[in-house]
Structure 1
Amino acid sequence: MTAAAAPDLAALARQAAFLRLQGQAGQSAGLCGRVRDIDPNLARFDAFLDLLTWARPRDRLYPLIRDLVDAGFANPRSLDLLAAAAIWAGESEAARALTDPDRLLSITSLHGPDEPDLALLAQELGSGLDRYDRPGDRSIRMGWRRNHLERADSPVLRRMFDRLWHAASAYIERLPADPDNPFLRSRPPGLCLRAWSVVSDADTHHLPHLLRGRAARGGRCGG
């Protein structure tokens, strides 16, 4: 018996966009959720945005994305897209509600300058690196990464993750309740931490992490 072929995630994302254009927000959100379950990084989600911006001017996308989020597809990619769509539509207050740093940004120091873990941590983060020149599934260019730090058994990394966990949990606890705000309303009941380290030189850079589709580049096809 042969294994089933992996699903074409770009095709599923385009199908979800078509459903959204047809007014089927719930079915579209469900299919987007299926794509996310298979690929939590949503590396092929740009195909969703490309189809939407082929079919609609980007200043008319805000209600489509808002309905998608309200139907249950709420995650960093869709909330980023919602904020961008609000800006494109001139809905500045809606965009500000999703990105307001005074309300949503928190800065926490995990180490003091004399923290003995710092030298060990720097050594650990710079070991076991893989070279990435122009990978198709990552934004890094001409640099080195150590992936899946959360899987490491290193004591210093475990201490780092313990501190990060407590800081992230405290941040979530401090967030206000606001049923009208899609970001605050959709926060999950729990969290998980994933991490990687990057070592760079003068040629290392990153592509934009989010909205790398047609709309982010400013082009559009169709009427």
Structure 2
Amino acid sequence: MTATTIRLETAKRLTARQELELTRAAHARNAASRELRRRLAWLLNACDRYSETVALLAGAADLDFGEAMLRTNALLALETHEATREAIVSADCAFALADADRRRAAALADRGKAEMRLGDVRAERTLREALALDPHNKDACKRLAALCFSTREPGAALALAEALVAQGVGHSRVLAAQVLALARLGRIEEAREAEARERLQLVSRLSPPPGWASRQAFDAALAAELVAHPGLHLERYGSASHRTWRIDSTISHFAPLAQQLLARIATIAERHVATLAAAVDHAMIRVRPPELVLHSWCVITDEDGYETWHVHQHGWLSGVYYVATPPGIAEARDERGHIAFGLPEDLVGEEAARAFGSGLVRPEPGLMMLFPAHCYHRTYPHRASGRRICVAFDFRPA
């Protein structure tokens, strides 16, 4: 297999909220445009305005598959009993409009989510039908594995993961499900081997980019650029972040220093992937994509901000660069402000999570980490004055 190449995603000229207002105005002048309506619905969802998405698409007789899925996602995000029931109807509409098995599977995965939320016993069958149509569907895999864990059937979750891997599936959700199932079955060493974080990660302290006298000077300028970014907003529905400030797309014309940093990280990541491909035999490496696109976002936390256990569903490889940390965090003896790798207790149980172990990394400015997207991780509140600023990123299959 040829070497994997990495490129940055196209830099954005507008924030999602800026584009939303422009698209809203354009749609008001040309309400008959299906293209504008579809884009407006996507932007409303991207800006967490789910009720507006539902209202926009309500009663439309000419919805296409994409709009039906956007409406389904919006209804699910409202998290009410009535909206969840409506989401099933909307998912069925999307299924009927789908013109390919991949799309039919996506509609079934969302129907399965709604059925799980309502306690409907048909959820398992729905999700298995989705995976029969598209074994690579991440949402169906995630939800079916979660259903197995909730019914205390880790053996079924492991069988699911192994069957998908045997079909050439290697996304982060299936690899994470395999790790969780092995740990919950008490096969801790096998779970560690399946995760393989220490073999697959890279931890490095970056030197300053060309033209900068010191890394501290660059980080200070980058921090100022990020704090002033017009796309900075509080929290985001569906993310693992709590009480955090976020920039959803760091690669933008508002953040040239971030682009400079990420271009350098892309080069480092290319070399790291080449090294792994030559030296490591792992399910993740066996499905190594020929091309990856670097997508980045920024997370800024005050004293009480944190992230819950999660993996990066859309990434193959993930990472973080720490721009700023409050004084004393890097030297702290406890977990304050740190990132932890391990397993969520609510999925595997406290005993298995403790046996698997937790790896703490003390953040400090200039520290960069690359790690597999299937590795569960969380962060702790730093409980200090000042802010922790990090640039996070996924390397996604092109």
CA RMSD in angstroms comes to: 3.5
Is the deviation greater in 115-124 or in 55-64?
55-64
The TM-score, its normalising length taken from structure 2, stands at: 0.44
Q: 2:179–2:194: 8 Å Cα contact kept in structure 1?
A: yes
Matching residue's letter, 1:2: D
Q: Could you give the per-residue CA deviations for residues 85-104 of structure 1, whole angstroms, max 9, x where no partner exists?
A: 12222333432223334421
Change (3 A) 1:20 1:198: closer
- Contact 2:161-2:178 at 8 Å conserved across structures: yes
Match for residue 187 of structure 2 among 91, 94, 102? 91
Q: Which moved more, 1:110-119 or 1:182-191?
A: 110-119
Q: Is the Cα contact below 8 Å between 1:144 and 1:200 reproduced in 2? A: yes
> Counterparts of 1:174 and 1:16 in 2: how far apart (Å)?
42
Is residue 208 of structure 2 the alignment partner of residue 114 of structure 1?
no
1:71 aligned onto 2:177: no
Structure 2 counterpart of 1:33: 136
Q: Which runs of no fewer than 5 residues in structure 2 stay unpaired?
A: 1-60, 70-90, 92-106, 117-121, 312-342, 351-398
How far 1:131 moved relative to its partner?
Answer: 1.0
CA–CA distance in 2 between the matches of 1:16 and 1:33?
Answer: 18
Instruction: Rate the CA distance shift 1:177–1:12 in 2: closer, same or farther, 3 A.
Output: farther
CA distance in 1, matches of 2:305, 2:223: 19
User: Deviation string for 1:134-181 (max 9, x for gaps)?
Assistant: x54111111210111124453212211111101111110010458963
Q: 1:125 to 1:207 in 2, by over 3 A?
A: same
Q: Residue 156 in 1 paired to residue 263 in 2?
A: no
Query: Which residue of 110, 114, 125 corresponds with 1:18?
Result: 125
Matches of 1:142 and 1:96 in 2, distance apart? 31
Q: Which residue of 2 aligns with 1:39?
A: none
Matched residue, 2:284 = 183
- Look up the match of 2:326: none
Structure 2 CA distance for aligned equivalents of residues 28 and 18 of structure 1: 10
Aligned letter for 1:215?
A: L
The code of the aligned residue for 2:136 comes to: G
Q: How far apart, CA to CA, are the structure 2 residues paired with 1:179 and 1:110?
A: 24
Sort the Cα spacing of 1:109 and 1:12 in 2 relative to 1 into closer, same or farther, 3 A. same
Structure 1 residues 17 and 33 mapped into 2: Cα distance closer, same or farther (>3 Å)?
farther
The aligned residue for residue 221 of structure 1 is: none
Contact 2:240 2:309 in 1 (8 A): yes
Higher mean alpha-carbon deviation, 49-58 vs 155-164, is at 49-58
Q: Deviations over 1:93-144 (max 9, x none)?
A: 4322233344212112223492342222111222231012xx5411111121
TM-score (norm 1): 0.73
The one of 191, 201, 212 aligned to 2:302 = 201
Q: Deviations over 1:172-215 (max 9, x none)?
A: 00104589632221222221211111121122122221488973
SS in 1 for 2:299: strand
Larger radius of gyration: 2
Cα pair 2:145 2:157 within 8 Å, conserved: no
1:130 aligns with 2:233: yes
For residues 103 and 122 of structure 1, the distance between their equivalents in structure 2, rounded to whole angstroms, comes to 31
Q: Indicate conservation of the 8 Å contact 1:17/1:49, yes or no.
A: no
